[in-house]
Structure 1
């Protein structure tokens, strides 16, 4: 049935391609040099545009073109200064001082001040904001205590000597602190407008000002939002586009069809069958995504609170078979840390520098289930697997259901959800088994392993493991790069190969369609996502 459904999708897309002339070599809906507008297809609306609020796909699309972080790293690992023009750090790496650009302005013409960065941090540390990235502020003095309601916000270890200087006081050294600066909670929100999470300021063009290359001029819920060039941007001469429109689509097939008909110029993360249809064509751009698709088992639900059950489910999944059905853009994964994340010190993939956490073994899985009191699946309760109603996730769910029945004789009930509902249920801990996908936010394994910490705001499944916490915490302040990687490998082995807190499924490549006339699109090294801030149409 799944293969037949995919075949239908291929046939439909091929028919559209023929009608629009794509197969005969025609270009897209815009002639070269005719426009300075770019239209991008993205998944359905999720979350806010507030860096201190509920972060999901919509914010991630918006922020890379509208907001400047203090600094970031380019593809060569070199610092690229954005909102900041320089920084210094003390000898023990606990005091970090950043000097902001004096010519940096918000899109309304007002100066970008240190207070704007602090504004985001303070609002994100209010648990009511629902920001999953708040725990990445915890290296700052008193941040965790503020989040837990134990101290007042004015005790946060952030000092503002003047409008152009931002000083972070850390509780202890943090080896990856500069990498954290690209996260939403370290991004500015204009104190003049950004009052509280959920007030609506973030999607109102009158108050949603930007300090990056583009700013919001229109937002139509569930349809699209429009960004226009920020004429007050400090680096505006390097910005060639006048406008970027992001259109929301409910499914990947609709995104691919929109590209074929000329409705959009860029469509990312498309179904794998698009790779076959566009093989050899310039439109097709396949990129490595630094992401892992996996399952969260809720440890507060019986019998998932039994490590033997979690291990049995993990070992019973045939990932090669799964990927062969889901698509050519997937690759079996047994790690939580993304397959394509590199160790910055060695240049090698992190996951290849250690033994695999586990090996699939159906016979052993059956033994474990019997040891847990469910021989041949007898008396095992029907668990519900919640997942977004996207094509890849729907196909994955069907395969998992069939494999677990075949290999363990257990039944799982499938519950497809709108993406936003799936996020909300997961954050609330309202699930038994839940699909999870994590694309790296910064170029360090900690972006994955920190989510399983007992105090992590992304720990939705009730993990409380002092031994694991100690390993990750030790890696935070370890200054020897080799030893630090050893600690992170130990932590992953414990979480994934001994306690089975997560069930890895597969790594991914991103199948993208981009008009060949569009140049200057780059790939963000930390996540693999595409960035359009300096894109242009070739004349």
Structure 2
């Protein structure tokens, strides 16, 4: 009822004000000067240091300000950025990248191989808090260094000269090129990027960029401004002069700002916006390569009992959940994103195997009784931590009601600011905790690796040697069919047998984009919007 009312009010607002789109914040002149856009994004979270504990702020910043070595375009072809070429040896254990000699930082100084090594070595210090450090573990001795069992000078990375970067891997890694778009493989200027705590990353004088835009201003909790990097090697192809990112605490405020012409792009909005803007050219709906799910802390009783974990999973009605949360959601029973495609077949990865489990309330009650809690008697009250976002609040209330009705167990709800929710999860200080993962690269490993025993994103105490063995075997399996089988086997074990997580739903990304803006791209790996080649 509340959501329908919100949609009606939003539609009435549009009709009364006559505003159907935001207003481009500058009137570009004929020579292209003064082209700027303003983008609304979620609240300020995480560091902007690629070696640190990154979150939404870094992801928004890096898309326009940092060049990775290379990436893949929408056709699956390599797009060279900081590197201009690479070669690999016969057994795929030595990868050599040749950096652009015309690549410069935004102060005009050269980008060197040492700058890439700078991020890597800092990320391998656990004190940096990088959640992506485990993606460096394919490199020789990287994991041992992270665990304090080897010295940094044993790391399998060479920088024989300023423009050559060589990675020595412990064993073949068939998706290594996909990893290169991750933060820990992007450069940070050795002259300034010294620590995640020094503040260099938010200071325009020291937060240098090697991409199309550079940091010009940063005001915590309010906005940050990117200006065109005049030293960028491909500056002639960059049309915008300024991108301003404004922080908002909720999606309704973002939508209101768009309607008022205060922003030109508003991302990840609620489904009510999709309904209100149906048929309008402002509406830009895409598939998110993401999964909303819940972590269960295996160090908390009785969540260490697989029967309890399975019972909770089987007792949740995801169809009903999605009907209440919004039309931009779809039920999912997988960890791997519903819309992630198998690069070999072109089909959705999750559709190529049986669904890991099916909901069954009666069976859930039987399992709970077998675990010693008939009709929920004696079951301890658990707390579910989630961010103070509308979608997550609605989700929490539905889950609380369903588990009470179906299993007669009590789940207490604790809403947290987004940054606090991240910190709670990283610290493992939770019973149940909301998790959302948008793919970092176009491979199921980006999901399945998070449940590995040595993963820096494994916050719930999972330690499954069988699962580790299957996932690790997939990393070096060159046969695509056999590798896909291993990945499906791993997901079935984790989600359909051990029930380490509670998958909830997949999502559409509901965005409002000023129709005067052209050239916005989608990042193939994640589905997120990219503005580096946008124009007005």
The TM-score normalised by the length of structure 2 is 0.98
C-alpha separation between the residues in 2 aligned to 1:534 and 1:490? Answer: 40
* Equivalence for 2:518: 519
* Equivalence for 2:428: 429
Q: Does 1:20 align with 2:20?
A: no
Q: Does 1:495 align with 2:494?
A: yes
SS at match of 1:191: coil
Is the alpha carbon distance of 1:20 and 1:76 closer, same or farther for their aligned partners in structure 2, counting shifts above 3 Å?
same
C-alpha separation between the residues in 1 aligned to 2:8 and 2:357? Answer: 39
> Number of residue pairs matched?
532
* 1:411-450 equivalent positions in 2, closer than 5 A: 411-450=410-449
Q: Contact 1:384/1:432 (CA < 8 Å) preserved in 2?
A: yes
* 1:244-283 equivalent positions in 2, closer than 5 A: 244-283=243-282
What 5-or-longer segments of structure 2 have no aligned partner? none
Q: Contact 1:16/1:257 (CA < 8 Å) preserved in 2?
A: no
* Equivalence for 1:110: 109
Q: Contact 1:16/1:261 (CA < 8 Å) preserved in 2?
A: no
SS at match of 1:202: helix
SS at match of 2:289: strand
* 1:68-217 equivalent positions in 2, closer than 5 A: 68-217=67-216
Shift of 1:11: 4.2
C-alpha separation between the residues in 2 aligned to 1:198 and 1:211? Answer: 21
* Equivalence for 2:360: 361
* Equivalence for 1:9: 6
Q: Contact 1:313/1:404 (CA < 8 Å) preserved in 2?
A: yes
C-alpha separation between the residues in 2 aligned to 1:243 and 1:207? Answer: 19
C-alpha separation between the residues in 1 aligned to 2:459 and 2:25? Answer: 45
C-alpha separation between the residues in 1 aligned to 2:74 and 2:442? Answer: 11
* Equivalence for 2:242: 243
Shift of 1:289: 0.4
Choose 78-87 or 372-381, whichever is displaced more.
372-381
Q: Deviations over 1:177-206 (max 9, x none)?
A: 000000000000000100111110000000
Shift of 1:17: 2.2
SS at match of 1:518: coil
Shift of 1:155: 1.2
C-alpha separation between the residues in 1 aligned to 2:74 and 2:202? Answer: 31
C-alpha separation between the residues in 1 aligned to 2:460 and 2:285? Answer: 33
C-alpha separation between the residues in 2 aligned to 1:259 and 1:317? Answer: 36
* 1:307-456 equivalent positions in 2, closer than 5 A: 307-456=306-455
C-alpha separation between the residues in 1 aligned to 2:386 and 2:65? Answer: 30
Q: Does 1:65 align with 2:64?
A: yes
Shift of 1:152: 1.1
Shift of 1:153: 1.2
Q: Deviations over 1:19-54 (max 9, x none)?
A: 53225xx76355764651010000000001100011
SS at match of 1:111: coil
SS at match of 1:112: coil
Q: Contact 1:32/1:517 (CA < 8 Å) preserved in 2?
A: no
SS at match of 1:497: helix
C-alpha separation between the residues in 2 aligned to 1:9 and 1:277? Answer: 10
Q: Does 1:471 align with 2:466?
A: no
C-alpha separation between the residues in 1 aligned to 2:442 and 2:420? Answer: 29
| Aligned residues: CA RMSD | 1.1
Q: Does 1:230 align with 2:229?
A: yes
Q: Contact 1:137/1:143 (CA < 8 Å) preserved in 2?
A: yes
SS at match of 1:268: strand
Q: Deviations over 1:189-237 (max 9, x none)?
A: 0001001111100000000000000000100000000000000000000
Is the alpha carbon distance of 1:156 and 1:31 closer, same or farther for their aligned partners in structure 2, counting shifts above 3 Å?
closer
Is the alpha carbon distance of 1:28 and 1:311 closer, same or farther for their aligned partners in structure 2, counting shifts above 3 Å?
same
Q: Contact 1:523/1:531 (CA < 8 Å) preserved in 2?
A: yes
Instruction: Please list every run of at least 4 consecutive aligned residues from structure 1 whose deviation after the TM superposition is greater than 2 angstroms.
Output: 6-20, 26-35
What 5-or-longer segments of structure 1 have no aligned partner? none
C-alpha separation between the residues in 2 aligned to 1:469 and 1:27? Answer: 49
C-alpha separation between the residues in 2 aligned to 1:276 and 1:126? Answer: 47
